Structure 1
Amino acid sequence: MEIKMRLDTTKLDKSNMRGVIVNFPSQFKFGIEAAGTIKLKTGFEKIFVCGMGGSALAGLLAGTWLRLEKKHCPIHVLRQYDLPKIGGKKPLIVCVSYSGNTEETISNYKQALKNKYQTVSVSVGGKLKALCEKNKTPFIALPSDDIPPRLAVGYIFGALAAILEKSGFAENLSKKILTGAEKIRPIESEKYGRTLAEKISKKIPIIYSSSDYHSLAYNWKIQFNENAKIPAFCNFFPELNHNEMLGFNFKEYADKFHILVLKSDKEHPRNAKRVNLTAEILKKNGAALDVVALKGKSNFEKIFNALILGHWTSYYLALQKGIDPAPIEMVEEFKKKMA
C-alpha cells in the first residue's frame, strides 16, 4: 500500500501539495515579517476580517486562538458583500484576498473607504493591491507561491498577528507564534493522516469538536471539500446533542458517514463526557467514528498540528480517489460565469 501511495503522490500531485504541507510552519515567519513596515493607528474597538474561502480561514483560527488564550480581541470574520452597520468607534477593516481579485472582498474594501474606516489589505497582488496603491492605504504583500489559499493560512495568520499587535489589540503574539511554529513538524502526522483517509474511504466525513474548536472543524470540512472533492460537514458540542445526533437513529443513514471528533485534553468536563457518550451511541447505531486527539502543549500547537493533520487526511483521500488535490475547476468555472 505504501509503495502505491508513493507512486500516486508523484503521478497525481502535480503542484507538489505535499511539499507545501511539509513546509507549512515556515509561512508564519514570512507573514509576520511581511507586515513589518506598515503603520496603523490604535484605539479601535473592533476588527473585521473580510475574506472568502481559504482567505477567511486564518481569521477564524485567529479568533479561536485568542479566545483560548483568554485575550479580549473582538475579531469578526465577514464572508459577504456588504459591511454591517457598525456602531461606536470606527473599526479596523482587514481585507484578505489571496489572489487579490475576490469580488466580495473588493466590495468590502470600497465600502470601508466610503465610510472612512481604517483599512489594511493582505494579498499577493491583483485588483486589491492596485486599489491600495491608488488610495494609499496599507498593503501587506504575500509571496506569489501559486499555492491554494487554503494552504496559505500560515502566511495570513502571521500577517494578522502583526496587524493585531500594531493596532493595539494584543501584545507578544508574534513571539508566541514563532516559538510554536518551531515545534510543529508536519512530517510526523503524515502517516496518521493517510490512515484516517483509508478509514474514511468512500464515506462522507463529518467533523465534530467542542464549540471552542468549531473553526478548526470547519477548516477540516473545507479541506475535504477542496482537496478530496467530496461533501463534508461539521458541527460542535454541546449543540449537536440537541438535534444532529438524531440523524444517526437509523443504520441505513449512519453507515454512510465517517465521524471524526477533534478532542482537546482541556475540554469542559461536561463536553468530554458528551464526546464519549456520543461516540458510544453513534457506534452502536452503525456509524464509523474516530476520536482525534489535539496534540501539543500550547493552544497554538494544538490548533495547527490538527490543521496539518486535516491537510494530510484530505490530501491522501484525494490520492486514494485518483485525483490531483490542488485544482478546483468547478469553483473556477463558476467564477467565470459570475464575471
Structure 2
Amino acid sequence: MFLKCKAFSYSELIGVCWVLANQFLREYLDWPQLVEEAGSIVPANARSLREGVEGILIMGMGGSGIVGDVVYSLSSERLEIPVVLVKDFRVPRWVGRGWLAVAVSYSGETIETLTCLNEVIRREAQIAVVASGGKMIELAEERKLPYVRVPPGRTPRSSFPALLLATLKILKSLGIDLGTPREEQIIEFLKREDTLKLGHELAEKLTGKIPVFMSSTKYYPLALRAKDEFNENAKTPAKTEVYPEGFHNDIVGWEAWFGPFSMVIFKEVGNTTLEFLKETLLGAGLEVTTYELSNTYVEEVIKWSQVVGIASVIVAKKRGLDPKETKHIAKYKEFVRRTNI
C-alpha cells in the first residue's frame, strides 16, 4: 500500500520556508538568554597549567572556528605568547608538550577538530575542550581534561556567544585572562539597540546583492563572521576584505567593478583609514553602509554578529529558502566519512 503525498505549490513551499526561517530566527533573537545561560556554566576539571606555556592552539571549524579568530584578535594586545589557529586536519609540527591546545566544536564530532585533538593528545600538549556533547566531551571526561559543555540543540553559528564565552571562561580558569566583560555587561549592550530592526534594515540593503564585508584587522573576525552567515543562511556568495592590507590589492578591484555588490564597513570610531576607504568606494559609485563600533570589543563582535545573523535569515526568507539547511556541508561531511580522509 502506497501513501499518497500532496504536491505543494510554489506559494505553499515559500510559506513553509517562512515558517522554518521564523523558527530559526529565534535562535538569534534569544542571544541575551543564551549569554546568561553560558555565564552560569562552570568549567569541569579546571587545573593550573604547567609552567612555561609556549603558545596556545585553537582548533575549530566553521561556526565554532570563528571563536579562534576572536581569541587571536584579543590575544594580540594582552598575551606575550602566540595564539595559532588551525582549521584543518593537521597540527603544525612545532606544537607539542609546551603548548595549550583548545578544541572548539559545537557538536563535539567535527572530524577535522577531532583529528587534531587526537594528535595533540599524542604529542602530550595541555588540552581543553569546548563542545555541547559528542566524542570530544566523552574524551574530555574519560581523560579528565578541562572542558565546558555549552547548551545543546542549536546550530554552531547560532551558538556563537555561548561558544565564545565558554572558550574565554575555560582559558581564564587555566590562568589565561583575556579581560573579557561580564555576561550582564554583554546582555545590557545587546539590549541597547533593536537588533531585529537593524537586521531588517541590513537585509533590505543586501537582498539581491553580493555583500562585501570590510573591517580593520582587529575586527576581521566580525567581517568573516558576517560573510559566513550570508553564505550559510542566505545561500549567497559573500566576500571579506581587511584593511589596511586591502589597500595593497582589493581596492584596485573596485576601480572598474561590475556586478550587484553592496559594501558593509565595520569601522571603529576615529579610524580615518576606513573613512578614506568609504569615500573611495562612494567615489567609485558603489553602495556603502557603515557601522560605527566602540572600543568594547567583545560586546561589539557579539552584537553585530547577531545583527548579521538576523539579516541573513531574513534574506533567506525573502528568497524562499530554509536558512538552517546546509546541503553542501552535509554532502562534504558524508564524503569525509565515506572516504575516511
TM class by shorter chain equals 0.7 to 0.9
What aligned pairs does 1:129-148 form with structure 2 within 5 A after superposition?
Answer: 129-145=137-153, 147-148=154-155
Partner residue of 1:226?
232
What aligned pairs does 1:1-80 form with structure 2 within 5 A after superposition?
Answer: 11-13=18-20, 16-42=23-49, 43=51, 44-67=53-76, 70-72=77-79, 74-80=82-88
In the alignment, structure 1 residue 93 sits paired with structure 2 residue 95: no
Q: TM-score, normalized by length of structure 1?
A: 0.86
Change (3 A) 1:84 1:66: closer
What aligned pairs does 1:308-327 form with structure 2 within 5 A after superposition?
Answer: 308-327=306-325
Contact 1:186 1:308 survives alignment (8 Å): no
Contact 2:43 2:173 survives alignment (8 Å): no
CA separation in 2, counterparts of 1:79 and 1:229?
22
Alpha-carbon shift at residue 53 of structure 1 (Å): 0.7
Runs of 5+ in structure 2 lacking a partner? Answer: 1-13
Alpha-carbon shift at residue 177 of structure 1 (Å): 4.2
SS in 1 for 2:288: strand
SS in 2 for 1:228: coil
What aligned pairs does 1:171-182 form with structure 2 within 5 A after superposition?
Answer: 173=180, 175-182=181-188
Q: Which stretch of the first structure deviates more once superposed, 192-201 or 204-213?
A: 192-201
In the alignment, structure 1 residue 196 sits paired with structure 2 residue 202: yes
What aligned pairs does 1:155-194 form with structure 2 within 5 A after superposition?
Answer: 155-170=162-177, 173=180, 175-185=181-191, 188-194=194-200
What aligned pairs does 1:277-296 form with structure 2 within 5 A after superposition?
Answer: 277-283=279-285, 287-294=286-293
Change (3 A) 1:87 1:222: closer
1:289 partner amino acid: V
SS in 2 for 1:94: strand
Find the partner of 1:109 among 99, 111, 117: 117
Partner residue of 1:3?
none
Contact 1:66 1:72 survives alignment (8 Å): yes
Query: 1:270-323 deviations in whole A, cap 9, x for unaligned?
Result: x1442233233332xxx22212223x5622322222211111221111111111
Change (3 A) 1:116 1:303: same
Query: 1:26-74 deviations in whole A, cap 9, x for unaligned?
Result: 333433433433312234232111011111112212333454xx42264
Find the partner of 1:82 among 86, 90, 107: 90
Partner residue of 1:235?
241
CA separation in 1, counterparts of 2:15 and 2:175?
48
Q: TM-score, normalized by length of structure 2?
A: 0.86
State the aligned residue count: 321
Alpha-carbon shift at residue 118 of structure 1 (Å): 1.2
Query: 1:200-246 deviations in whole A, cap 9, x for unaligned?
Result: 22121111111111111000000000000111110111121221122
Change (3 A) 1:89 1:335: closer
Contact 1:93 1:120 survives alignment (8 Å): yes
CA separation in 2, counterparts of 1:276 and 1:337?
42
Query: 1:170-218 deviations in whole A, cap 9, x for unaligned?
Result: 1653x53442333212870222221221222212111111111111100
2:61 partner amino acid: M
